[in-house]
Amino acid sequence: MAKLKEKGINPGLAVIIVGDDPASRVYVNNKKKACEYCGIKSEEYALPEGTTQEELLKLIEELNGRDDISGILCQLPVPEHISEEAVINAIDPKKDVDAFHPVNVGKIMVGNYDFVPCTPAGVMELIHESGIDVSGKECVVVGRSNIVGKPQAMLLLHENGTVTICHSRTKDLAEKTKNADILVAAVGKPNFITGDMIKPGAVVIDVGINRMPDKKLCGDVEFETAEKIAGAITPVPGGVGPMTIAMLMKNTVKAAIVNKTK
């Protein structure tokens, strides 16, 4: 970070949270701590639940125009009276460190991107750091959200994986997942993927984070049965979650460099 600052590149992240959703508050606090750890300037805008869409978009417009803010993130979900699409579209694509703007989504599709959504990026980082080669592997992504499932599939495809996307209408899901060399679970249902749905020796990456009635966290994969079958598996908590935050920091730094040279 010191070398960047010597070049006049000073990453700054603006995080907007509307309302007082407890999970969103935890995420925002974690992002703030990560910025402090990395030496990235962060600004938090905690807006009341009743904030209008017009007020929120005006704030985003102001942040778009500030040279000292390289990345803008609006914590989702926002209250129902605010359009998520309008919020995402309002953020300057060059400051869109979540990579949700249609411009950045399109760039991911063609493989010429500056930013990748933080969770799929974190999954790929885990794969790379573990020395796993995606090329030629059967990759199955369970979940088709715009935030995780779809971009995850594209990133695996860009590395020459053979990718299957499964979802709520998929027939014979277990048949598909048992064929996966690399299985990414991102469906948002606790313990949804069980050990008997996994190919022996497969790489299993659990994106899910679900809070159970006893307040404990669990993923979309039933860890106890899956770890006996998988060759490698991520835990929940402590697996993909920290990587998501790390990739946000990486995107913020990259945004500072992109905006400095634009």
pLDDT tens per residue across span 167-179: 999 999 999 999 9
Active site (annotated) includes residue 98: yes
Predicted confidence at residue 261, as pLDDT, reads: 65
Q: What's the pLDDT band for 4 if we cut at 50, 70, 90? A: confident
Domain range for 142 is: 118-241
- Give percent of the chain above pLDDT 70: 99
Active site (annotated) includes residue 31: yes
Predicted confidence at residue 43, as pLDDT, reads: 97
* Residues 163, 157 contacting (CB under 8 angstroms): yes
Residue 259, pLDDT > 60, answer: yes
Are 129 and 225 members of one domain? yes
Q: Is 187 inside any structural domain?
A: yes
Are 87 and 12 members of one domain? yes
Predicted confidence at residue 33, as pLDDT, reads: 95
Query: How far apart are alpha carbons 67 and 246 in whole angstroms?
Result: 23
- Across the range 130-157, mean pLDDT stands at 97
Are 133 and 237 members of one domain? yes
Residue 2, pLDDT > 90, answer: no
What separation in angstroms does the CA of 199 have from each of 180, 191, 255?
Answer: 6, 17, 39
Predicted confidence at residue 215, as pLDDT, reads: 82
Q: Is 73 inside any structural domain?
A: yes
Are 79 and 131 members of one domain? no
Q: Last residue of some domain: 98, 130, 155? A: 98
Active site (annotated) includes residue 206: no
- Please give the distance of CA 102 from its chain centroid, rounded to a whole number: 16
Are 136 and 82 members of one domain? no
Residue 18, pLDDT > 80, answer: yes
Question: What confidence tens digit (pLDDT) does each residue in 102-120 have?
Answer: 999 999 999 999 999 999 9
Say which of 31, 95, 150, 199 is annotated catalytic.
31
Q: Who has greater pLDDT, 216 or 200?
A: 200
Structure tokens at 133: 């080669």
The CATH number given to whatever domain includes residue 29 is 3.40.50.10860
Residue 209, pLDDT > 70, answer: yes
Specify the range with the lowest mean pLDDT, choosing from 73-77, 136-140, 162-166: 73-77
Say which of 92, 96, 98, 220 is annotated catalytic.
98
Predicted confidence at residue 22, as pLDDT, reads: 83
Query: How far apart are alpha carbons 70 and 259 in whole angstroms?
Result: 7
Residue 81, pLDDT > 90, answer: yes
- Beta strands at 138-142 and 162-166: parallel, antiparallel or unpaired: parallel
Are 136 and 185 members of one domain? yes
How many distinct structural domains can be found in the chain? 2
